[in-house]
Amino acid sequence: MSAAQGRLNDFVVKIATVNGTGSASANSLLLKAFFRMGIPVVGKNYFPSNIQGMPTWYEIRVTRDGYAARSGEVDIMVAMNAETYAQDIREIAPGGYLIYDSTWPRQQTLSRPDITVIGIPLAQMANDAFADARVRILMKNMAYVGALAALIDIDMNVIRALIEQMFAGKPKLIPANMQAIELGYNYAREHVACPLPLRVEAMDKTRGHIMIDGNTAAALGCVYAGATVGAWYPITPSTSLMDAFKSFCARMRTDKETGEKRYLIVQAEDELSSAGVVLGAGWAGARAFTTTSGPGISLMGELVGLAYYAEVPMVLFDIQRVGPSTGMPTRTQQSDIQICAYASHGDTRHVCLYPADPRECFDMAVAAFDLAERLQTPVFVVSDLDVGMNDWMVPDLTWDDSCRPDRGKVLSNADLEKITSFHRYLDVDGDGIPYRTLPGCHPKGVYFNRGAGHNKWGGRTELSDEYQDVMERLLVKWATAATLVPKPEVIAARSGAPWGILAVGSCDGACKEALHRLAEQGIHIDYMRVRAFPFSAEVEKFLADHERVFVVEQNRDAQMRGMLVNETSVEKAKLTSILHYNGMPMDHRQIVRTIEDAVAEEAAA
């Protein structure tokens, strides 16, 4: 009993369903219910690249300690999909629970002695209560919400309030949904000793927080940054970013009387074209962005190179998915780290920002436009499916109304009047960033933009020294970029810790949980999360200050480690990779195990 006591507000519920059966709203209802009870939650959606009929799972971790990653274990499995039943039952941790639809007989051969099986006739109850076939399927989902509410003690008032809010636009649907929830609730109460030892209880740890996915947050960031042109080609898992931008703009950037839009979204014919639109708009002075994923980045390469060399601002959101090639479009990975950093032929390097959660997606979206215009170069926001499409609990997004965008070195007509002559690629200020003008400006500011060799005056050249002069100056700009990009996040375990973990993006939650669990064992390790490329001086220092650094990332080829070796003076042997790339969001276990082993090895040596 004491072990179960210890699991109050600390366990994982996973729901296995078939996609296209409307389980998403039931699952998000559950997630929100915990959140409203003040309990920190982590929600992960494992969905197929399919519209209807394939297995899909939703995993909710309630975590009183406020961990941000998945735990890697399942304590309660709601098995609604016969096709994955065997797999689902295997996944339950010893001492856990299986909830299944007892309308049909269960495969007894798949029993496990170390779990508790709870049968609830969900389909039967829904069929008896509702006439319409489609409604029956939907209500079966609501019935498992009700059953769970009874089993783990979710506050029914919270559920009722959420249902009323969910169907505020269609109040007629409220009674049926509540009825279905109560069917499941009452059945569980009558047939099972409720609540189970694994249960929830109200806390006060979600105040001042929201549940939001990274793509929605990034879209808000684009609105607040003043982006006016969006160009894209639909691709999972980035689509919801432009969709969200569109719906925010429809509400916030459309004149209510005239219908005039203060934005323009081009759904282009492919990613080559969407990159071209962003480049053209950036050149002409609009804040423009595209949303894509790995395959799109591959296609955009040539235009990114043009923007780098001709020095045109662009913002590109790469919501990474599993590669190579088509890979697994609905699974997460960080395998575009290097293609974003070095996209295109020739010597090119690009500014990259690596958000770790939706709040950072918002902040970094804003920062990306400032950096792109300040540095006149492409900026990638390298997010991933886990951050982009899952709901995360993050502190409220905030906005400072005195904030104004940094439009960079753009000469106005008044500026042009004052100067004798304008030269596009001259490093006037010594920071490697030249001045630019926008098409349509004062005649003095006219210049010819080109991807062909050019000299510092802006003229075409095939002269070696003139070409090289511009390439060298771009390195000065790169050094300036390293001082402007977001600084890494650093957590010092205690002074003089010899080992460090260096992570990027969505590895953050798993790493922080691992640090905590290792500290409980007396293993103290420093932490740095790289938030941008080029690496700032702090990254170099962290690497220098530690004897050994574990580099945690989500790809096979240790792409971030490769960049650290390439771009800093770190000795290669210092860096030990911890690689997770199976497509599922990362959890702490692999990190803890690797470091425990390393500690043991060192003790033995």
Partner 1 sequence: MSYIRKPNITYKGRAKNALGLSESSYEGTMSTLCAGCGHDSITAAMTRAFFELSIPPNRAVKISGIGCSSKTTAYFLSQSHGNNTVHGRMPSIATGAAAANGELHYVGVSGDGDTLSIGLGQFAHVIRRNLNMLYVIENNGVYGLTKGQFSASAAFGAKTKKGEVNPNPPIDPVKMGLALGASFIARSFSGDKNHLVPLIKAGLRHKGFALIDVISPCVTFNDHEDSAMSYKYAFAHMHTAADLIENKPEITADFPEGAVVPVTMHDGSDIYLKKTDPDYDPTDRARAFEYVMRHQEKGEIVTGLLYIDESRKDMHAANQTVAAPLNTFPYEQLCPGSAALADVQKRFR
Q: Which of residues 5-34 bind partner 1 (CB under 8 A)?
A: 32
The C-alpha atoms of residue 364 and residue 225 are separated, in whole angstroms, by 10
Contact between 338 and partner 1 (CB under 8 A)? no
Residue type, 545: D
CA atoms of 336 and 417, how far apart (whole Å): 45
Of 113 and 171, which has the nearer Cβ to partner 1?
A: 171
- Minimum distance, C-beta of residue 374 to partner 1, in the bound complex (Å): 15
224 binds partner 1 (CB under 8 A): yes
Cβ distance to partner 1 smaller for residue 462 or 571: 462
The span from the first CA to the last CA of the chain, in angstroms, equals 42
Options 185-193, 248-256, 373-381, 566-574: segment touching partner 1 (CB under 8 A): 248-256
The span from the CA of 304 to the CA of 344, in Å, is 6
Binding pattern to partner 1, positions 280-319, x when CB under 8 A? xxxxxxx-x-------------xx--x-------------
Alpha carbon distances (Å) from 308 to 281, 459, 506:
15, 17, 27
C-beta of 132 vs 396, nearer to partner 1? 396
Distance CA 214, CA 229 (A): 20
Instruction: Please state the closest distance from residue 416 (CB atom) to partner 1, in A.
Output: 10
Helix H, strand E, coil C: the string for 218-275 is: HHHHHHHHCCCEEEECCCCCCHHHHHHHHHHHHHHCECCCCCCECCEEEECCCHHHHH
Nearest distance, CB of residue 167 and partner 1, angstroms: 14
Applying CB under 8 A, among 17, 274, 333, 594 the residue interacting with partner 1 is 274
CA 536 – CA 525 distance, rounded (Å): 21
**Contacts with 254 (C-beta within 8 Å, 6 or more apart), sequence order:** 260, 261, 262
**What are the structure tokens assigned to 133, written together?**
């076939």
Out of 190, 269, 520, 601, the only residue in the binding site for partner 1 (CB under 8 A) is 269
Instruction: Tell me whether residue 37 or residue 137 sits nearer to partner 1 (CB atom).
Output: 37
- Kindly report the CA angle at 547 between 546 and 553, in degrees rounded to 5? 70
Residue type, 33: A
Q: Count interface residues toward partner 1 (CB under 8 A).
A: 72
> Which CB sits closer to partner 1, 58 or 362?
362
Show contacts with partner 1 in window 390-429 (CB under 8 A).
396-401, 404-405
DSSP line for 461-503: ---HHHHHHHHHHHHHHHHHHHHHSPPPEEE-SSTT-SEEEEE
Residue reference for tokens 């697994």: 328
Q: Whose Cβ is closer to partner 1: residue 48's or residue 305's? A: 305
Instruction: Report the residue from 60, 123, 142, 277 that binds partner 1 according to the rule CB under 8 A.
Output: 277
Strands across the sheet with 378-384, in order?
264-267, 229-232, 288-292, 314-320, 378-384, 351-353, 532-533
- Which of 35, 245, 535, 581 is the binder for partner 1 (CB under 8 A)? 35
- Binder among 19, 23, 36, 144 for partner 1 (CB under 8 A): 36
The nearer residue to partner 1, 136 or 160, going by C-beta atoms, is 160
Q: Considering only residues 114, 190, 260, 465, which one is a binding residue for partner 1 as defined by CB under 8 A?
A: 260
Radius of gyration, alpha carbons of the chain: 27
In the window 472-491, what residues touch partner 1 (CB under 8 A)?
none
223 binds partner 1 (CB under 8 A): yes
250 is an interface residue for partner 1 by CB under 8 A: no
Site for partner 1 in 348-387 (CB under 8 A): none
For partner 1, give the closer residue by CB, 115 or 212: 212
* Site for partner 1, residues 448 to 467, rule: CB under 8 A: 448-452, 459-461
Structure tokens at 562: 């490769």
Residue nearer to partner 1 on the CB measure, 171 or 208: 208
Q: By CB under 8 A, name the one of 183, 218, 231, 532 that touches partner 1.
A: 231
If the CB atoms of residues 179 and 413 are measured against partner 1, the closer one turns out to be 413
Residue 594 CB, nearest approach to partner 1 (Å):
35
- Do residues 531 and 353 lie in contact, with contact meaning Cβ atoms separated by under 8 Å? yes
Quick one: which of 542, 498, 519 has its CA closest to 592? 519
d(CA 9, CA 64): 5
CB of 286 to partner 1, least distance (A): 3
Q: Take residue 282 and report the two structure tokens written for it.
A: 């950036």
Residue nearer to partner 1 on the CB measure, 187 or 380: 380
Of 45-53, 135-143, 235-243, 444-452, the window that binds partner 1 (rule: CB under 8 A) is: 444-452
278 binds partner 1 (CB under 8 A): yes
The DSSP H or E segment spanning 288 is strand 288-292
| Least spacing, CB of residue 405 vs partner 1, in Å | 6
Using rule CB under 8 A, residue 46 touches partner 1: no
State how far the Cα of 420 lies from the Cα of 186, in Å rounded to an integer: 83
Do the strands 391-395 and 351-353 form a parallel or antiparallel pair, or are they unpaired? unpaired
Nearest to partner 1 of 264, 565 (CB atom): 264
202 contacts partner 1 (rule: CB under 8 A): no
* Number of residues assigned to the chain: 605
Q: How far apart are CA 61 and CA 187, in angstroms?
A: 24
